[in-house]
Amino acid sequence: MSAERTIRGLLDKAEIEVNGSKPYDIQIHDDKLYSRVLAHGNLWLWEWYIDKQRDCEQTDEMISRLLTANLEEDLRNSSLRQKISFWLSVALAKIKNPQNRKWSRKVIDGHYELPVELYEWFLDPYNQYTCGYFKDTEDLDQAQINKMMLIGTKLWLDIEKDNSNIDILDIWCWWWWLAKFLAETYWCKVTWITITDAQIAYARTLCKDLPVNIIKLDYRDLSKEYQKWTFDKVVSVWMAEHVGPKNYWQYMSQVEHVMKDDWVFVLHNIGSNISLNKTDWFIDKYIFPNWVIPSETQLSKAAEWKFLLQDFQNIGSHYDPTLMAWYHNFIKNRDTIKNISLKDWLLFDERFKRMWEYYLLSCAWWSRSWHIQLFHNVYTKSHVPNSYESIANIDYSPARTKRIFNNNV
């Protein structure tokens, strides 16, 4: 069977026609695509979309149909070369540690050291690069305030009280804004650690008059840098995805070392339905190198003998509207600056824009179809009595939250 016939047959399962008239049909401009997709898998399909060798009018619906039809396994089974490549990558991920100190720099250099202007084009004024909380709102800015307030409440912070004697450790938490928000809104002291130079330089300027201590530090060195039981509370947002399966236990151990006995650890992360040791090839190559989404089973196993899970919430339904809001902001602003140099090796050109659009749309559909979740785990030290109550009633009234937002931006 020819490569073209095989690929067309697989696309039929998703009710997608090659060069068809429907807005979600794939328009293929080079017949070489068929054999390369068959040999190298869906990575080539997306790379050729980025390179405009194929196109689609309604990209989000096309992605939706491809993912719903679950063609990846069928595509892999159609080629011996793909089978070997897939299982070799699985085996290598089990043997090596892609998230060790050396390789963890790969995602920093390739994604998080990009200029802040790129993110300002599609994020909210707080630059929250994590899932918002769309409770009683359809507005992204309000949803991100809701999310930060939800985290603050789960940290047992009372907005009406003076929390200046409370020390919070913020591990990573993207562009320091959560640290800034906690310091300004709840009047507490925050230590923010990261290994991203671009973020550190920007954060030290914006947080210079706040009780926010910004330190370049790998989470693996927390026990070396700080004495035992230094911090009252610990929060980590958008970090567990970069820790990796071989390091979850160490991650939890480092947090346990620096957290006081009677306080709380809030972990906000994208969650997988199944335990994995590798990620999608496109995401790994172009967006988040060595990124692995943890399952709740993996996190719970790493937390054994260290923490007691006091509260769990899945806010995964809020991730799709977050991603789509980012996508629409990106589309609106994508031509604001043309061909600026993001890195020595990267231009903000048409190829980069198409890559970023596909990234946001595909992640939105993964969320929409419940292939990925968004977990909030609240931990205490395992020997603390079970006195933590689930968060149910937080005041998200526009008058209150907009006052907080306007005062702090």
Active site residues: 363
Question: Directed axis angle between helix 140-154 and helix 177-186, to 10°?
Answer: 70
CA dihedral 277, 283, 285, 291 (to 10 degrees): -40
Longest dimension (CA), the chain: 72
Q: What's the one-letter identity of residue 140?
A: L
Pairing state between β 167-171 and 231-237: parallel
Q: CA-CA distances (angstroms) from residue 15 to 34, 320, 341?
A: 17, 23, 40
Q: For residues 370 and 320, give the distance between their C-alpha atoms in angstroms, rounded to a whole number.
A: 10
| Count of residues in the chain | 409
Check if the beta carbon of residue 379 is closer than 8 Å to that of residue 309.
Answer: yes
Phi, psi angles (nearest 5°) of residue 32: -65, -20
